[in-house]
Structure formats: C-alpha cells, structure tokens
Structure 1
Amino acid sequence: MPRPNQSPRGNTTLQAKETLFADLVQGRAQQFQVPLYQRTYSWTEKQLRQLWSDILEQTELLEGGKKGSTHFLGSVVLAPSPQNEATFPRWLVVDGQQRLTTLSLALAAIRDHIRDTEPDEAERIDEEYLINKRKGGSDHFRLLPTQADRPQFAAHIRGPLAEQSADGSVAAAYNFFRRKLVEAADPAAPQDVFRIEQAITSRLTLVAVTAERGDNVHRIFESLNNTGLKLSQADLLRNYLFMKLHTRAEHVYETYWLPLQDSLSNEELEQLMWLQLVLDGDDRVRRQDLYAAQQQRLERGEASETEIEAYIRELHRRAALFRRLLHPEEEADASVRAHLRRLDAWQAQVTYPALMLLLDRRERGELDSSDTARAMSYIESFLVRRMICRVPTNNLNRIFQAVPGQLPLDVPVADGLHQLLSADNRFWPDDDELREKIQKAPFYQFGRSQQRKMVLQRLEESYEHPEPVDFTAAQLTIEHVMPQSPGDEWLRMLSEEVADGESVEDLHSRLQHTLGNLTLTAVNLELSNHPFERKQGLLQGSHLEMNRRIAATERWGAKEVRARAGELADRAIALWPAPLRGVGRAERSRDWHLAHQVLAALPHGTWTSYGDLAAFLGSGAQAVGNHLASTPRVANAYRVLTSEGKVSEGFRWTSENEGGDVRSRLIADGVRFTVSGAADPAQRLTADDLAVLVAENDGQADSEDVAQRTLGDGEGEETRADSFFRQLAADDSPETVEAVRALFARWEHLGGWIGHGAGHVTTSAFLMLGEAGAPGRGIWPLTLYPGGGRGGTAEVVFQYLAAREPFTDRALRAELLRRLNELEDVDIPEGKLELRPSFRLSVLKKDRNRELLAETLEWFRNCWESREAA
C-alpha cells in the first residue's frame, strides 16, 4: 500500500491506491453509503455504451490469454461513515457513486442472466459483490445509494424482479446490461459471460482515495480534479520521440515530421500511428493505449536515434497511403479509386487496417492495382452482404484489426484475404443466405441510410445503362414503391394475396421494407402515397433503369415485389463476390438471436405480436411462434401475442422456473387490458418500433430527411413550407391546417424556427431550436408529417432526445410525455418513452389542446436554454 500523502490543503492525510472493484467490495461484510446530499444516479445510455465497449475489450484480452493493459475507470473518494462500526465498516462515497452503482447493476444483470442455468454461480456473484448475506434491512446491501434511488436499486439487487420497475435511470441501466448480455451471446462472436464478470471485477481499475475521520473530503475532491487540457496520444508520442532524438531532431522534424503534420490533422495522425502498430502485427492494441504500446516497443529494443528516425520516416511514407483512404480522389488507379470511394461513403473506417495493408503491399510490389481492386471487392462484399443479411457489426473491429497478423503467407495477398474473411467465424453470408435475406428481410431498417443508398446505387449501375446517372449531382432518395402508409386501394390489392391466418396489414408489414419494394428517385414528392397507376407514369420517365422496369409491370403487389427481389438478388450475387465454399454457417441461429435481443429490449408496458416480430426478422409468424414455443429462457417471450392482443392458444411456458397466469404477468409488466380482454393496442410495438429498439444509430436521426432552414431551391419553385401545407391540406381538414399554422407561429414567437425535410418522401416539418446548420447545436421535440391518406401526425422523438442534453435525463423525457398526455385524445404509453410515438394533428383543432401543446413547447425550450446557459 502506498505511504500516506499530505493533502495540498491543511494537514489532512489520505491514502490513494490503485485497486480493482473486486478488491474494493469483496471480503468481510461492509457497506458503501452514498450521502443523501449527493445527486441521484444519472448515467445515460451514452456512458453505459462506452463502459460496455471497455468491458468487451477487456473480455477479449482475457479470452485471448493476453495481459494487455487494464482499463482505468476513474477515482473513488471514500471517508469513514459516522455510522462506522469496528465489526461492520461503513464508508461514505464522496465521489465515484456513479461508477460503483453502474458496476453493481451490471453484476446484478449477470447474476439474473445465469440464474436459471447456473444457480450456484448466481448466488456466488450475489454474496461476493452485492449483498451482506447475514445482515438485514438496509445493511443487507454492499452499496447503499442515495435515498431517492434506494427503493429501485434495492429491488434490482434483491432480484429477480417479480415486477419490472418502469421508471428511472437505475432501471434503465439494469435493463441495458440485460439486453447487452443477450447480445453478447451472438453466434458470430459469442462472449463468455464469466469472462465478462471477470473483466468487470478484475480488469477495470480504480484509484481509491481514502480520507480519515474529520478530513475535508470535498476539498480533497476539488484538488484531485483540478486538471488542465489533456494531451492526446499523438502529442505524448511525438514528445517522447523527439526527446530521444538528441542530435538529429531538427533534420527529422523538417524532413519528415512537419510535412506529416501538415498533411494530417492531429486525430488522423493518431489514427495513422495506431495503424502502424497494427500493420506491424499488434492486433489487440487500442488507440487509447497507443503511446504506452509504442513506447514499450521502442524501449524493449533500446531504440537508437537511427531506429527512431526510421520509425518516423515510415510514418511519413505511410501517410501518403493513409490520405488515399481519407481522400479517395488522390488514388491514381480508377478501379481502386472507385472501391475507396464506396468504402468511404460506407463510412468503413473499421476496414482501415486491411486497406492500409493492401496499399502498402502494392507499393512494395507484392500485388498490382488489379489485384488490389479485387482484394478490395472482397472487403466491400464482406460489409455489404453482412449488412443486407443483418449480421451484427460488434466484432468488425476485431476482424479487420487481426488481418495484418493473420493473413496467410503461402498464397497471393488478394487470395489470402479472400480465404481469411471466409473463415467460419467471420460470418460472411453466402449466395443462398444473401438471396433469402433480399427476398424476406426488412432492408430499410438495418444499416445506415448512406449504406442503403449505396447498395441501391450499385444495383442500378449493374444495369449498365448507356447514359448512366451522375449520382454525385443527382438528389436521389430511397422510395417505397408500395407506400409505408398505404391507402385503401393498396390494401384492397394486397388483400387478394393474403395467406391463411395472416391479415392484410401483416402482409404489408412483411413486404414494405424489403429490397424488392425499394428504389431510388428524385421525384418522391410527386410519388408520395399515390396509387400505383399514378406512380407508373412518373417512374417511366425516370433516368434509372430499375425504375423503368418497375413502371413496366401492370400492378405492384406481393408477387411483383418478390419477383423484383429475385432479380435484384441475382445482380447482388454477381456484384459482390461470395466467400469461399466449405465453411459452416449459422444463419438461422443469428436470426433467432436477433429476436432474443429485441425481446429482451421490450420496454415496460409494451407488447408485440407474432406478425410484428416476424416482419422485423424477415420470417413468418408461424415460424416465430414455433421457435418461441420450443426455446426455453427467451426473455419476454410471453409478451408476444396475437395481432388482436390475445395470448395464443398454443402458448406454453418453456421452463419449469416460469409459469403462472400469462395475463397476470403481463399486468405486472405494465400491459393494460381493454374491456374485451385484449392487450391495449396503444402499447403494441410494430415492426418499425422493434427496429428502433435495436438500432445502431445511438438515437440520432438517421433519416432520408434532414431539417433545413432553406425554404426553396430557386425563384418560382414551390418552397418546402408550401409543399408541407399542400400535402397536409390534401389529407386533413382546413381546421387542422390552420391549427398547425398557428402552432408554427407560436413556436417562432418562442424563438424557434421551422425546418423542413430535405428528402421528399413526404415534406416533413421540424420544430427546431438552436442555430441553423450548426452541427450538434440544434434540437427538436416534434417532427410533423402530412398523412398520405391517413391524416397528419406529430412524431415525438424520444429516441433522438435520449442522446441530447439535457433530455438524456429520463425524468425530463417522462415529464414531456406527461405533458403531452394531458392533451385530449393523446395517450402515449410510458413503454414508448425510448421510441418515436405519434399522435394525430387533428387533435390540435381543439383550442385547449393547442394551448396545452404551446405550454409544453415553452417548457421544452426553457429546459434546453437552461442547459445552454449552464
């Protein structure tokens, strides 16, 4: 243990030592108390995601048998509690309660995750980290949060929950870890849950600062946190390198470093330094450990000035290659340049280790530009096929960082990369899986918007039209041929093809987002939700070959969507090379794993149907029912009901640890029932809602629409504002249109502005605050959409707000929900607080509703401005 340190303030003595969570909380009975004056638990999903990423990195190090560096989590400042006893130590947690609470909830989630299969291990986790087994009352808990959090925290530590707790950050954190543990069982890269436990307890380091009774712990905390601007890893490494260059520093700086520094930003330079380590065979180094890892390499060999100069010279050489990844136009070969452009549009930074290796080997003469392009086609195919087939992206970093060290040495580079990516644990979908997913999977709901557009663009280019479209200049967006909000004419046509036991809504839900029903167009505004006959004429005049082929069909129903999906599958198979044959696949288990993930993520007070889950998966409702009936321990399986909100007649509990009346369990989970005995349809999550639950965009807007303040594109053209109101008037009463105009005027009076969508599926309107065009500065509570046949709606963007201050605080989002529900005929269930629920704009015809909404918007503005001023 370190010797006591003198505090910078007075004669206070304290001990500071590095420790692990296990060492801090294990051992004899003790308790860590969060003082009542401390703020409540407030970590949001942003902090939880970062911690989970750090945990998985440490888990991978453990699984690989490598020591690596532990992850420093931060400090914990402790002081003896006034209630301290010699036989039962109690500590006040002056700082660090957020970390301790989060780690405790993560371990509680692990305990509950394994309780059915490993009851002894679950009990061990409980007794080692969470409870004082022989103590009662509040002394039973190793960590005792502040009073406001105590009931909820205690409910989760006692576990398993007989009834979910819907509110608060504690419940949100616990549910986050439950979801992530289901996700960690991904067949593509399964994580051992006990390795995850070990990473949490023994690989996350803390500095425990322990004060003595009577010490001014607040002043200690202030002095510990009085730090300046943190140096980057690149800054640290640069300083170290030039400190070692005693005689040649000036020459090396002017010849190599200064041009290097001028050609790359500091962040890009840091990334290049990291890539150099990876290319040299260090397949586990993290960017945040760059300085320590490179320093270790140089000092291990007692590097001379000549060797340090050689290292910097190599950085300088590789910088020119790295710039081609950042700026593909600097690549001379047309074919290689085209691949780099597409990968850049894909935002495929994760592939940089492999791309740098290819460019490096080409420069060394080990492969030509033709083979370089062929190798890049394998990388592109690997990404595209996995995206179309909805393979999770959580192991891509590990796959591509390992390429330089794992590339076979006995075959040409391009062939070696093909072989390496085809390994059975890489999950590169073959032709059969690709064809199945193109025909059945909801393509529109996976990946990023620019990735989906790139896939459609490549498919269009495959037609090799004699006058190809300039995609850079064209303002193209993705259009649903069969609309997302179909009118009666569309539904009548679909009803002719409905299978037994399926509703027309179920059929539409299964087909609407599949690739066969999607195209690119610049005339979405005109296409909108009109009948197919009107769309035909507009598509016929398109410069895109895929649109002309759609226009050439007589109707557009299920048969035509499936036929086009088959044609596009043929083209995709030809465009994107397949993996080498002879490797095992686990496609179906991946699909079911995705089902388990989304069911684990169901919020309190919600349910879904077999048809909704099937549409989300690209499967059939019967197959979903069969899987849930035969697979034990699927979280929330009993919350999958028929489309009418009834428990399926074939439902059976699959585990002896489950049981009881299903309706009682649903009521305990916050699901309401109507007088007819059906689950409340307002609490039902559609396939689109399920997609939001497991979206990878961190709650940020990932839409074809982007709010812009610009109202028109040129003199004499219809402005976007006019377009919005024209579409709204076509579908809603004049009273509704005037009510929306009044709402916009009130919003502008409050200091907001109205943005309009740059995409034109429909012309949306955003109630904006902040500076127009300033990244990260704007925020909006509502997005308004014309109805397209079913009445205009206001979408409440809870999912987006969850990542924007100050609304990362769930209590503020809950208050927004409460205020909106005061409007007559608005009843948004609390279970949709993480989603994007809507209400009809027609409710604004009532004066009282308009006034309540205006008051709510003023409250929203005040919350945001208070945060901006802080």
Structure 2
Amino acid sequence: MQAKETLFADLVQGRAQQFQVPLYQRTYSWAEKQLRQLWSDILEQAELLESGDEASTHFLGSVVLAPSPQNEATFPRWLVVDGQQRLTTLSLALAAIRDHIADAEPDEAERINEEYLINKRKSGNDHFRLLPTQADRPQFAAHIRNALPEQRDGGSVADAYSFFRRKLIEAADPADPQDAFRIEQAITSRLTLVAVTAERGDNVHRIFESLNNTGLKLSQADLLRNYLFMRLPNSGEYIYETYWLPLQDSLSNDELEQLMWLQLVLDGDDRVRRQDLYTAQQQRFERGEVSETEIEGYIKELHRRGALFRRLLRPEEEQNAAVRAQLRRLDAWQAQVTYPALMLLLDRREHGELDSSETARAMSYIESFLVRRMICRVPTNNLNRIFQAVPGQLPFDVPVADGLHQLLSADNRFWPDDNELREKIRTAPFYQYGRWHQRKMVLQRLEESYEHPEPLDFAAAQLTIEHVMPQSAGSEWIRMLSEDATDGENAEDLHSRMQHTLGNLTLTAVNSELSNHPFERKQGLLRGSHLEMNRRIAATERWGAKEIAARADELADRAIALWPAPLRGVGRAERSRDWHLAHLVLAALPHGTWTSYGDLAAFIGSGAQAVGNHLAGTARLTNAYRVLTSDGKVSDGFHWTPPGAGGDVRARLAADGIRFTANGAADPAQRLTADDLALLVTDDGDSADSTDPAQCALAGQTEETRAGRFFRQLEADDSPETVEAVRALLTDWEELGGWIGHGAGQVTTSAFLMLGEAGAPGRGIWPLTLYPGSGRGGTAEVVFQHLAVREPFTDRTLRSGLLQRLNELEGVDIPEGKLELRPSFCLSLLEKDHNRELLAKTLSWFRDRWEGRGTP
C-alpha cells in the first residue's frame, strides 16, 4: 500500500486511464450543502491565486484506489474504493467550466475536456476518465459528452452540474468578478488529496474504515492555547491565571477563536481564514526567535481586546450612548461580517485616535453601507473580503472616520448613492430581499425618524411587516388598480410589481386583523396605531399605485437623511447588477418550469418591456427562451440571439419538461411567479413569508393562545368541514409522534407539523406548514426548500417521493420543477375522505423516512 499527497490534475492527467466506481458503492449523493462548502473552498483558493499566495492549498480528503480486475498494461483502470463523491463532483465542476467558456474559448474548452474528462482515443465506456456506478452513468456520460440541452432532470448528477453552472454565472458579479480559468486552476492544482493506492492483496475496506474513523477534533483555539503555554515554561501559570482564564471565562470557545482570528486581521493579515488560525499564528511566532516576553505580550493584548470584543457581542457593556446605539443596531442586523472594522474603531478609540462621537459617526457609515446595499439588492457574497481588508487598507493620512468613509466609497465596493437608493425604494421588491429581521429594522429606523414625542418600545412590541395593499388582492383592490394601470400594464401586473415595494409596507401589531381587507377597513385600524407611519397611511383617501409611489418618495427622503451616502466620484454599475441578478435566477430555473416577462420584471424591480428588450439583445443567455408571455405563449418578438442558436422554441421547452395545454400554452402549473423566483436565489430561512420554526410557541398558555388564533383565522375564511378536516389532520400528526408548533408569523399565524425534540424546534424537521387563507382559503405549504438542507431529505429522491405521494391527492398537481421551492395546495381538498386518508399515509411515510434517516 502507498499513500501520497497529490492534486486532482496529477491524479487524472497524463496517459489514458480510468477510475471506476464499483457496483457496491452508493450512487452520487452530494447535495447543496456539500456543494456550497466546496464552492466556498474553491473561491478561497482562486482568491489566493489572484493575490499571488502559492503556499496555502486546501486539503479536500482522501481517495482510496485499488487495481481493477479489468486493468491493462497500456490502459490502467482503478477501482475507487473511497472518494467517488469528490472525484465525481470535481469532474462535473470542470464540465461546467468547459461549457461556460465554450462559446468564447472553444480551444480552451477542448483542452479541459481532454486533460481531465475524457480519453480522446477511446470509445464506449473507456472514453471517460471517471466511470460512475451504473445508476449514475447515463446522466454523467451525457454531461461529459454535452449531448443534452442545457437543462436536464437527472437527479443529483444533474443538480450538481446545474449548481456549478449557476455559480459560474454568479462569479461574473461586477463587484467581485472571478476568472473561470483561475477557478479551473484552483480545482485542479489547489485542492490536495491523499491518494492511497492498494496492491491486489490489500484489504481495501479496512483502509477505508481506518480513514473514516475520526474522533473529536481539537478546535483552533485549543491548538493555539496549547502551543502558547508550551512556550511559557517559566511564567505560564501566572499568565494563565491573570490573563487567559478571565478571558476564557468571559467568552465561549467559538467566540475566543473568533477573537484570535480578529487579532490576526487587526495586525494586517487580510487573507487569513478562521480554519487556518492556528497555523497562521504559529508561523508568525516561528519566523524568528520568539521570547517568553513576546508570547506574554500576545496574550495580554488578546486579553485587552477581549474586553472590546465583548461590546460587539453584548452592546449593553458599551458606556457611550451613541456608540451603544450603533452597536445595538449592527447586532440586530447580525452583522458579524463587520467585526474587523468595528474592532478597529474600538481599538483606535482606546488608543485615543478618535473620540466616541467620531466612533459613532464611523459606525454609521458601516450601517449605511449594509442597509443601502440590502435595499438596492447588492449581493452579500463579497462582504467578508471587504471588511476583512479594512484594517490593512484604512488610509493613514486622514482621520479614522473619514478614512473609513473614503475606503467604503472606493470603486467596486458598490455602496449605492442617493439616486440609486431612491430608485430602488420606488421599484425594487424590498420584501423579497435580505433577512426578515433586517427588513424589519429598516422599517423601524424609518418610523423612528418621525421622532414621535412618545416613541414606541420596539423591543417589547410584537410588530410584524404588513402589506397595505395585500399580497392576495381581492376584487375591490383589482378594480382600484385598474384605474392606475397604464402603458399596456393590467391591474394584476401592477399588483405584482408594486406589492413588495417599500412604499407598500409598514409595521403593525394587528397584522391578522388587517389581513386581506379593503383599504377603508384598514384605515380605521391604522388610524389608531401608535406608529406615525401608519397614521399617515390612514390619512390617505385611497391606496393605489400613485399613493404607493408617493409614500416611497417620502421614505426615500428619510432613508437618504438616515443613512449617509458614499463619497462622490466613484464608478458604478447599478443597472448591470440588476441584469446580473436576472441572469442568475434564469440559470437557476428548475427543470420543468417557466416564467413570464412580468414575473421576471417584478422580481428585479423593472418593467416587462425592458426585460424583453434585454433578453432579445443578450447573446446566449441561459434559459432566456423559458421566459414567456403571461398566458404561456412564446412572444411574437422572441428571437434567438444569435439567430438560429437554439432551433425550435417549443421543442426546446418540451425537452426541458414543459407541458402544453390543448390551446398550445405552457402549463400554468409549471409557471414560477416573482415570489417563486425569489426563492431560487434565497438561502433557507431567509424567505419573506416563512415563519421561523425556532419562534414557534411550545407548551403552555402561549401555544393555546396561538393555536386558538390559528383556528379563529381559519374559521373566518374556510368552511366548517375544512376546519374539522384540519383539526383531524393535526390530531393524526400527533398520534404519529409529531407535535404542532404555532408561529407568530410575518404575515399571519401558522401551524407547523414538527418532528424532533419539542423544545428545540430549530433542530427539528417539518413537511408542511398550514396557513389560514386571509380571504382566499387556507393552504398547506410543502416546504421542499427547507427539506433540501435537512437530513435525510437532502436526498432528492426522497423529496421526489414526497411529491409523488402528495400528487396522488385529488386536486393536487405539483410539478417536478417546484421540488426546490415551497408549493401549496388548498386545505379545502381535505374535506374529501379519500384525500385525508392519502395524506395521513404520506405523513406516516415521511415520519418513517425521518426516523430511519432515509432508509427505504
């Protein structure tokens, strides 16, 4: 047996050879969670390459190989005993890069193919460098041969390929572009593997067991602590008791590790990763002869900065009111990414380089940077890099607060100016971006700007975000919107475009009472509100498009006054960023789905005509042909760019799983609305309408109150038969061993069908969330999006099994393309005995899969 460190390129390049995954291996099963982590590691390595750092590679894991019984002297074949998930994933990533650059760099695409993916002169199965198990082989081969249309429905293999295609489009972000060839180099020459090569007589399964028999690992903080005190033979006991123990007692192990990392960043290391903390600090100490005095100095400085760090974690420890208020808002924003800059400011203040008022002013720039970017829908993927670079890039020749203002205003920071902020407040669907607590904080700050003489205690108030014009607009709302519709836009399109904009949103504690009612009824409730913004809405005679736009302008004035603007004179790319977001969501369209020009326009905060013009003028845009008219037809003005690039549009749509009705329109059940599109690029837990199960009421009076509220709302909108069917469903679920969590909700109350420890809902799992209808009938939301990151339903075949069973209910027809979203069906369907019985069996199946963690 031989074991050596190698790279993917060294393993697969060279003469023709093949790596065969044995029949007994499980099929390819990496899901979004593993793919995201790998992509993060790849991008880190790409950035290190860009910076010229050739030393810090990333260890990906082991690959155990054994000679194949089909081995030939001129064509080596290896059995992949362990590591097939890694090798398959890297191969699919390279195939995605090849296809991403194929139009612009055909020669380079062919090079990638021949160096890593195929044996050029071999045919049949021998053509492939990697040969997966039989179950995965057809789809893997199709991707390597690039023999199918862009969108394929092939399980985990196709999902992984599509993931990398999406991420490569995302990597073209104007704020932080990544070169595809540098990503290729990171994959092939920066991800290290340990290749264990067995001889014919070796017990390869024993090797596999020993490699995977891992115990509890020491943290980076543990390793560094042990190293430090090993270097303090004389003063270690005194330093430990005086400085280290108080520090360790005041912070958790994770917080201590974060402080150690921040210490490196503050000392100018703007590239160090937390997982490399121990190695980086050890290298610093070992560059020269380090004395005990220097080690003591490091620990004393860590102790001093620990007191500053605790103020970020617990703002109430800050003495100055203005700085404390800023820290509280950033803490509420959950802005841990800004810690390097915040620590720098507190550190400089302690050294007398700025006073508390200047510290608060500097922190207001950080808050504005975050808030303006969120309102203007600037992706957050480069925030770590921006703030980690602050200590090393802050100008020396200007005061600290002014220097930070200047630094954050620099080119490629994308801090939106007043004009862009005003435009996005008017047009962007604010409710669909950022996290719910961030959206709530923006509205809270806007309310505070009215400086009410008796301000509300926001910490005690149970406020949620309310749509004044409701998300589900009844006939009275549609009639009013018809009066405002112009330029060929109908009332429904106008509603879709404006419902989620900031001008239509407010805060209220009476969300369920406001619900879906006409504006006249809402006026009375809003007029009695303690919030100034609600009283101003109530004073308006009607609430249509003009009124929403006027309020947006008023809020924009306040936002511009609240959150300072960047300095002038920097280059920007505001519109290209909007189109980049459109490109990203188009690339993420699941197999078997389509969307409309109006839906895409509402999602990015644009107009349908502008969307059509952009799609028509952008060459080779992924999935542009899947944007149809609102009635599911190919637009009369659609043409391939360049001409003839895609053939017959209906044939391409059919190949992508789109069904057609008798009149030739795309199946409306497969259409993705603007809200659906938002889910495609939203992380689990960030979406606007999903109540966090961690906020569910558990046992006791609180649950009884929320349960009662849930059924009161249900009874107000559904028939007695539906209400009784829902009661029976919840009883059946509890008899299966589940429990019911009732959430406060962001729009209305809800009922979660939970499994897991009743008291730790954040660690549980739930297949359905039930919502009262608010004027449109109650619904059961199938939470495929959440299940995709919760074991065992990270396995797409299990989620597909749940979908198939639900579709057996009469009246339920959820398309396969919504398997990553949160589709709904009407609770009134449960009035039928047959449907109730089928759903009970489905929920029993779900529970059994969870208890067996995926066992068929």
Q: TM-score range by the shorter chain?
A: over 0.9
What is aligned with 2:43? Answer: 56
> 1:264 and 1:724 mapped to 2: Cα distance?
41
Question: Per the alignment, in what secondary structure is the counterpart of residue 79 of structure 1?
Answer: strand
What is aligned with 2:639? Answer: 652
Indicate which of 802, 816, 825 corresponds to 1:830: 816
Asked if the contact 1:186–1:593 (Cα under 8 Å) also holds between the matched residues in 2, the reply is: yes
> 2:781 and 2:701 mapped to 1: Cα distance?
26
Change in Cα spacing, 1:514 to 1:699, as seen in structure 2 (3 Å) is closer
**Once the two structures are superposed, what CA deviation does each residue of 1:634-658 show, in whole Å capped at 9, x if it has no partner?**
1000000000100011101012571
1:401 maps onto 2:401 in alignment: no
What is aligned with 1:349? Answer: 336
Displacement after TM superposition at 1:586 (Å): 0.3
Partner amino acid for 2:537?
A: I
Indicate which of 696, 706, 712 corresponds to 1:708: 696
Mapping for residues 266-415 of structure 1, pairs under 5 Å: 266-415=253-402
Greater displacement, 700-709 / 92-101:
700-709
Asked if the contact 2:265–2:391 (Cα under 8 Å) also holds between the matched residues in 1, the reply is: yes
Asked if the contact 1:480–1:518 (Cα under 8 Å) also holds between the matched residues in 2, the reply is: yes
> 2:203 and 2:590 mapped to 1: Cα distance?
43
1:741 maps onto 2:706 in alignment: no
Change in Cα spacing, 1:238 to 1:702, as seen in structure 2 (3 Å) is farther
Question: Per the alignment, in what secondary structure is the counterpart of residue 181 of structure 1?
Answer: helix
Partner amino acid for 1:170?
A: V
1:763 maps onto 2:743 in alignment: no
What is aligned with 1:511? Answer: 498
Displacement after TM superposition at 1:719 (Å): 2.5
Partner amino acid for 1:708?
A: C
Asked if the contact 1:116–1:657 (Cα under 8 Å) also holds between the matched residues in 2, the reply is: no
Question: Per the alignment, in what secondary structure is the counterpart of residue 542 of structure 2?
Answer: coil
Change in Cα spacing, 1:335 to 1:472, as seen in structure 2 (3 Å) is same
**Once the two structures are superposed, what CA deviation does each residue of 1:361-420 show, in whole Å capped at 9, x if it has no partner?**
000000000000000000000000000000010000000000000000100000000000
Indicate which of 777, 780, 783 corresponds to 2:769: 783
1:678 maps onto 2:649 in alignment: no
> 2:577 and 2:122 mapped to 1: Cα distance?
44
> 1:710 and 1:246 mapped to 2: Cα distance?
53
Asked if the contact 2:46–2:182 (Cα under 8 Å) also holds between the matched residues in 1, the reply is: yes
What is aligned with 1:95? Answer: 82
> 2:77 and 2:600 mapped to 1: Cα distance?
49
Asked if the contact 1:701–1:800 (Cα under 8 Å) also holds between the matched residues in 2, the reply is: no
> 2:375 and 2:714 mapped to 1: Cα distance?
34
What is aligned with 2:828? Answer: 842
Indicate which of 835, 851, 865 corresponds to 2:837: 851
> 2:690 and 2:245 mapped to 1: Cα distance?
41
Change in Cα spacing, 1:564 to 1:45, as seen in structure 2 (3 Å) is same
Question: Per the alignment, in what secondary structure is the counterpart of residue 479 of structure 1?
Answer: strand
Displacement after TM superposition at 1:557 (Å): 0.7
Indicate which of 515, 527, 532 corresponds to 1:545: 532
Asked if the contact 1:709–1:772 (Cα under 8 Å) also holds between the matched residues in 2, the reply is: no
> 1:779 and 1:700 mapped to 2: Cα distance?
17
Question: Per the alignment, in what secondary structure is the counterpart of residue 484 of structure 2?
Answer: coil
Partner amino acid for 2:328?
A: R
Asked if the contact 1:711–1:756 (Cα under 8 Å) also holds between the matched residues in 2, the reply is: no
1:136 maps onto 2:116 in alignment: no
Asked if the contact 2:698–2:759 (Cα under 8 Å) also holds between the matched residues in 1, the reply is: no
Asked if the contact 1:30–1:89 (Cα under 8 Å) also holds between the matched residues in 2, the reply is: yes
Mapping for residues 214-253 of structure 1, pairs under 5 Å: 214-253=201-240
Asked if the contact 2:308–2:347 (Cα under 8 Å) also holds between the matched residues in 1, the reply is: yes
Mapping for residues 342-741 of structure 1, pairs under 5 Å: 342-656=329-643, 658-697=645-684, 703-704=690-691, 706=693, 708-710=696-698, 719-741=705-727
Question: Per the alignment, in what secondary structure is the counterpart of residue 238 of structure 2?
Answer: helix
> 2:209 and 2:758 mapped to 1: Cα distance?
38
Displacement after TM superposition at 1:15 (Å): 0.8
Question: Per the alignment, in what secondary structure is the counterpart of residue 300 of structure 1?
Answer: coil
What is aligned with 1:209? Answer: 196
Asked if the contact 2:116–2:129 (Cα under 8 Å) also holds between the matched residues in 1, the reply is: yes
Indicate which of 790, 794, 800 corresponds to 1:808: 794
Per the normalisation by structure 2, the TM-score is 0.98
Asked if the contact 2:750–2:769 (Cα under 8 Å) also holds between the matched residues in 1, the reply is: yes
> 1:407 and 1:697 mapped to 2: Cα distance?
35
> 2:827 and 2:299 mapped to 1: Cα distance?
62
Displacement after TM superposition at 1:734 (Å): 2.2
Displacement after TM superposition at 1:724 (Å): 2.0
Displacement after TM superposition at 1:710 (Å): 4.1
Mapping for residues 188-199 of structure 1, pairs under 5 Å: 188-199=175-186
Asked if the contact 2:769–2:783 (Cα under 8 Å) also holds between the matched residues in 1, the reply is: yes
What is aligned with 1:3? Answer: none
Greater displacement, 273-282 / 218-227:
218-227
Displacement after TM superposition at 1:811 (Å): 0.3
Partner amino acid for 2:714?
A: L
Asked if the contact 1:525–1:760 (Cα under 8 Å) also holds between the matched residues in 2, the reply is: no
Displacement after TM superposition at 1:733 (Å): 2.2
Change in Cα spacing, 1:226 to 1:767, as seen in structure 2 (3 Å) is closer
Question: Per the alignment, in what secondary structure is the counterpart of residue 740 of structure 1?
Answer: helix
> 2:214 and 2:657 mapped to 1: Cα distance?
46
Partner amino acid for 1:598?
A: V
Change in Cα spacing, 1:93 to 1:718, as seen in structure 2 (3 Å) is closer
Unaligned 5+ segments in structure 1 are 1-13
Partner amino acid for 1:194?
A: F
Greater displacement, 31-40 / 242-251:
242-251
Question: Per the alignment, in what secondary structure is the counterpart of residue 719 of structure 1?
Answer: helix
Displacement after TM superposition at 1:700 (Å): 8.2
Partner amino acid for 2:371?
A: V
> 2:144 and 2:567 mapped to 1: Cα distance?
49
Asked if the contact 2:697–2:706 (Cα under 8 Å) also holds between the matched residues in 1, the reply is: no
Displacement after TM superposition at 1:865 (Å): 1.3
Question: Per the alignment, in what secondary structure is the counterpart of residue 867 of structure 1?
Answer: coil
**Once the two structures are superposed, what CA deviation does each residue of 1:435-493 show, in whole Å capped at 9, x if it has no partner?**
00000000011001110111011000000000000111111111111111111111111
What is aligned with 1:76? Answer: 63
> 2:644 and 2:76 mapped to 1: Cα distance?
37
> 2:120 and 2:240 mapped to 1: Cα distance?
63
Question: Per the alignment, in what secondary structure is the counterpart of residue 591 of structure 2?
Answer: coil
Partner amino acid for 2:798?
A: L
> 2:307 and 2:276 mapped to 1: Cα distance?
24
RMSD (CA atoms): 1.6
Partner amino acid for 2:739?
A: W
Partner amino acid for 1:844?
A: L
Partner amino acid for 2:795?
A: D
1:170 maps onto 2:157 in alignment: yes
Per the normalisation by structure 1, the TM-score is 0.97
Asked if the contact 2:685–2:692 (Cα under 8 Å) also holds between the matched residues in 1, the reply is: no
Report the number of matched residues: 855
Displacement after TM superposition at 1:164 (Å): 3.3
> 2:41 and 2:552 mapped to 1: Cα distance?
40
